[in-house]
């Protein structure tokens, strides 16, 4: 008899729970039916936006290529997906980068914070990045007074890693890896490691004599000295062909003329000796070497500033494919 009472009570309780759930579902359905279709659309859009934001912030983010610095690997207007999980995503844009699954490797195409970027504050950065992500790069409110996008992030190839020493001569990169006794030209090193060699050059070797002469002429002008006969009258606009090499020639000439000037002495030493890359830093450079502002100008970049690994071009369709 007691067993029958227990079963009856269990059945009654189950019916009560199921009835309550059914009534609740019916109320939700009636509430949804009474809701205006426009509100339903707003809810759907907001839900989709939240999904996009989560994916963009923590897994894959969409970027649009703004310049020619990675030509021909990436062209202006290419839209790409970047893997943010491998190197560790930020909790919010610009806020507390989390540990990643791996570190940037030589040859990777990476996204990192522009060391020259002047922030307008954390709240502005968060709002701007959320808007940029949710619109799939179509809306970027971070612009300068002339209306041009401010460059918050850069995309380059990781040329140097921890333990390397890197120097540049006449636009050509040489690398001395950790433990090596001498420098190896970039192409030989990359080929030996089965890594892609995608360097694109605009300046020919024959043009460097004139570029170096412009640097010497600029130094002599600063020193108020007459130009040496051997350099003739070089054209100043040639300095723009390789601003790095021009400045190397200018600074080393100033150092040689006045070794007591410690600032020029230190700059000349950096040009001549190169950069040593600490274990927590990388040395990113554009594939389009003669049209790229990269680590030659702002130095090695901290790994914690590297936000992602460029993986895939998804638009235009004619260029769809993996980024190498």
pLDDT tens-digit readout, 86-118:
998 887 777 778 888 899 999 999 999 898 887
Query: In this predicted structure, what is the pLDDT of residue 93?
Result: 72
Judge if 199 and 307 occupy the same domain. Answer: yes
Q: Are residues 145 and 92 part of one domain?
A: yes
Q: Are residues 180 and 234 in the same domain?
A: no
Report if residue 246 sits inside a domain: yes
Together in a domain, 146 and 251? no
Co-location of 110 and 258 in the same domain: no
Q: Is residue 40 part of a domain?
A: no
C-beta contacts of 161-164 below 8 A and 24+ residues apart? 161/104, 161/105, 161/106, 161/277, 161/282, 161/283, 162/277, 162/278, 162/279, 162/280, 162/281, 162/282, 163/277, 163/279, 164/276, 164/277, 164/283
Residue 43 inside a domain? The answer is no
**Sites in the chain below the pLDDT cut of 50:** 1-2
In a domain, 99, yes or no: yes
Output the pLDDT for position 29. Answer: 62
- Structure tokens belonging to residue 210: 């004139």
Judgement on whether residues 117 and 150 belong to the same structural domain of the protein: yes
- The answer to the question of residue 272 being in a domain is no
Parent domain of 97: 49-203+277-322
Residues 93/126, Cβ–Cβ less than 8 Å: yes
Please check whether residue 256 lies inside any domain of the structure.
Answer: yes
* pLDDT tens digit sequence for 23-50: 676 666 666 556 566 666 777 766 766 7
Domain holding 125: CATH number? 2.10.109.10
- Give yes or no: residues 169 and 222 share one domain: no
Name the token pair of 87: 């190197």
Residues 110 and 191 in one domain: yes
The total of structural domains in the chain comes to 3
Within a domain: residue 104? yes
Say yes or no: 229 and 96 in one domain.
no
Both structure tokens of 296: 């030659």
Q: Which residue has the tokens 């021009």?
A: 246
Are 172 and 120 within one domain?
A: yes
- If asked whether residues 95 and 238 sit together in one domain, one would say no
In the numeric block, the tokens 């994916």 are attached to 55
Task: Let me know whether 106 and 164 are in one domain.
Answer: yes
């Amino acid at each position: 008899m007691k067993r029958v009472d227990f079963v009856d009570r269990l059945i009654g309780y189950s019916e009560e729970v199921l009835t309550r759930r059914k009534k609740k579902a019916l109320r939700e359905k009636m509430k949804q039916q009474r809701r205006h279709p426009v509100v339903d659309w707003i809810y759907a859009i907001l839900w989709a936006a939240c999904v996009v934001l989560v994916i963009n912030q923590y897994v894959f983010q969409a970027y649009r290529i703004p310049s020619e610095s990675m030509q021909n690997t990436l062209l202006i207007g290419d839209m790409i997906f970047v893997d943010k999980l491998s190197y560790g995503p930020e909790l919010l844009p610009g806020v507390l980068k989390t540990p990643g699954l791996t570190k940037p490797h030589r040859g990777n195409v990476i996204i990192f914070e522009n060391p020259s970027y002047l922030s307008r504050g954390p709240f502005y950065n968060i709002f701007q990045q959320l808007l940029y992500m949710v619109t799939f790069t179509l809306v970027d409110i971070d612009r300068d007074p002339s209306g041009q996008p401010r460059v918050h992030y850069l995309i380059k190839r990781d040329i140097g890693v921890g333990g390397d020493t890197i120097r540049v001569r006449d636009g050509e990169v040489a690398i001395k890896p950790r433990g090596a006794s001498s420098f190896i030209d970039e192409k030989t090193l990359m080929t030996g490691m089965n890594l892609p060699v995608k360097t694109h050059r605009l300046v020919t070797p024959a043009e460097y004599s004139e570029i170096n002469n412009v640097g010497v002429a600029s130094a002599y002008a600063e020193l108020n000295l007459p130009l040496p006969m051997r350099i003739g009258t070089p054209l100043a606009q040639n300095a723009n062909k390789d601003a790095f090499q021009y400045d190397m020639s200018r600074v080393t000439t100033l150092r040689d003329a006045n070794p007591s000037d410690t600032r020029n002495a230190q700059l000349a030493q950096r040009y001549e000796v190169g950069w040593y890359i600490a274990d927590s830093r990388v040395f990113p450079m554009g594939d389009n070497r003669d049209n790229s502002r990269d680590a030659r100008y702002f130095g090695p970049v901290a790994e914690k500033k590297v936000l992602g690994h460029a993986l895939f071009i998804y638009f235009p369709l004619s260029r769809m494919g993996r980024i190498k």
